[in-house]
């Protein structure tokens, strides 16, 4: 009867060893390369314009403000543009007119109709409640470099100095056209079916499928020798 008891005890010890031996340390993992010491933080920064409601429709100044908004939207990921119309305000007819005119203006300027969304928000009887038009934008923040320095001639440890890679990361953050690219890839555009059919047709006939070479793109080195 003792053999089964010892067998069960050994099994319990083995299970306990598996449970504790596979646990990972709680300390943060060290960077694989020195350049991974610094990273770029991407934070949301909503872009919004406020339009005063009135029954006469969009004014020239409001249309100009929407034009600037469209330019910033087109330079980014072209996400959803939300038009927030005030409810329970002083001029519901004016708010409705501005909201619908804004949507029509955005679509007329090239914004996809599916990318414009009209919603309402509680104005709490505010007589100056505006129509809010905006979209979600992102900003990239790089590291602050030059906070500390060390002896760069001390290479006995053969390790990179602490500020190594900081300036490169900061420059990338400053040059990003759309910081949202760091969060996820952009959606692919539709393929050019006409161009694809043209290339396949040339391939079947044995013709050159590439475009005609521009003579201005020649990289030949001049052989002219000065006298």
Q: What is the pLDDT of residue 19?
A: 45
- In sequence order, what are the residues at sequence separation of 6 or more whose Cβ sits closer than 8 angstroms to the Cβ of residue 44? 136, 137, 138, 139
Strands 116-122 and 81-87: parallel
What the chain holds in terms of domains, given with CATH numbers, is 47-136 (3.30.1330.60)
Q: Quick one: pLDDT band at residue 125, thresholds 50, 70, 90?
A: confident
What percent of the chain is modeled with pLDDT above 90?
Answer: 41
Best CA proximity match to 46, nearest among 207, 147, 180, 152: 180
For tokens 């793109």, name the residue.
Answer: 217
Cα Rg of the chain (Å, integer):
31
Instruction: Count the residues in the chain.
Output: 227
Q: What is the pLDDT of residue 161?
A: 82
Q: Bridge partners of 117?
A: 82
Q: Mean pLDDT throughout 13-42?
A: 60
For tokens 């900081």, name the residue.
Answer: 166
- In sequence order, what are the residues at sequence separation of 6 or more whose Cβ sits closer than 8 angstroms to the Cβ of residue 202? 208, 209
Burial environment of residue 196 by CB neighbours within 10 A (0 to 12, 13 to 18, 19 or more):
exposed
Q: Tell me, yes or no, if the pTM score tops 0.75.
A: no
Q: Are 97 and 134 in contact (CB under 8 A)?
A: no
Q: Are 97 and 52 in contact (CB under 8 A)?
A: no
Instruction: Dump pLDDT digits (tens) for 46-79.
Output: 999 999 998 899 999 999 999 999 998 988 778 8
Reading the block at residue 13, the tokens are 């010890």
Instruction: Dump pLDDT digits (tens) for 126-173.
Output: 888 999 999 998 999 999 998 888 888 888 888 888 888 899 999 999
Q: Are 155 and 21 in contact (CB under 8 A)?
A: no
């Amino acid at each position: 009867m003792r053999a089964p008891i010892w067998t069960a005890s050994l099994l319990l010890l083995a299970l306990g060893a598996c449970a504790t031996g596979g646990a990972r340390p709680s300390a943060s993992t060290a960077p694989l390369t020195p350049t991974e010491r610094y990273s770029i933080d991407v934070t949301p920064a909503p872009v919004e314009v406020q339009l005063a409601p009135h029954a006469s429709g969009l004014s020239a100044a409001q249309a100009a403000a929407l034009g600037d908004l469209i330019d910033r939207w087109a330079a980014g990921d072209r996400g959803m543009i939300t038009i927030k119309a005030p409810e329970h305000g002083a001029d519901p007819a004016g708010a409705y007119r501005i909201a619908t005119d804004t949507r029509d203006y955005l679509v007329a300027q090239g914004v996809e109709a599916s990318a414009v969304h009209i919603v309402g928000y509680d104005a709490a009887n505010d007589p100056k409640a505006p129509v809010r038009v905006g979209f979600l934008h992102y900003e990239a923040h790089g590291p602050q470099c030059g906070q500390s320095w060390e002896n760069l001639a001390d290479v006995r440890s053969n390790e990179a100095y602490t500020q190594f890679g900081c300036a490169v990361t900061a420059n990338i953050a400053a040059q990003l056209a759309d910081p949202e690219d760091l969060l996820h890839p952009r959606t692919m555009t539709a393929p050019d079916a006409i161009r694809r059919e043209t290339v396949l047709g040339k391939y079947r006939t044995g013709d050159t499928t590439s475009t005609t070479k521009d003579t201005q793109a020649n990289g030949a080195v001049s052989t002219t020798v000065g006298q």
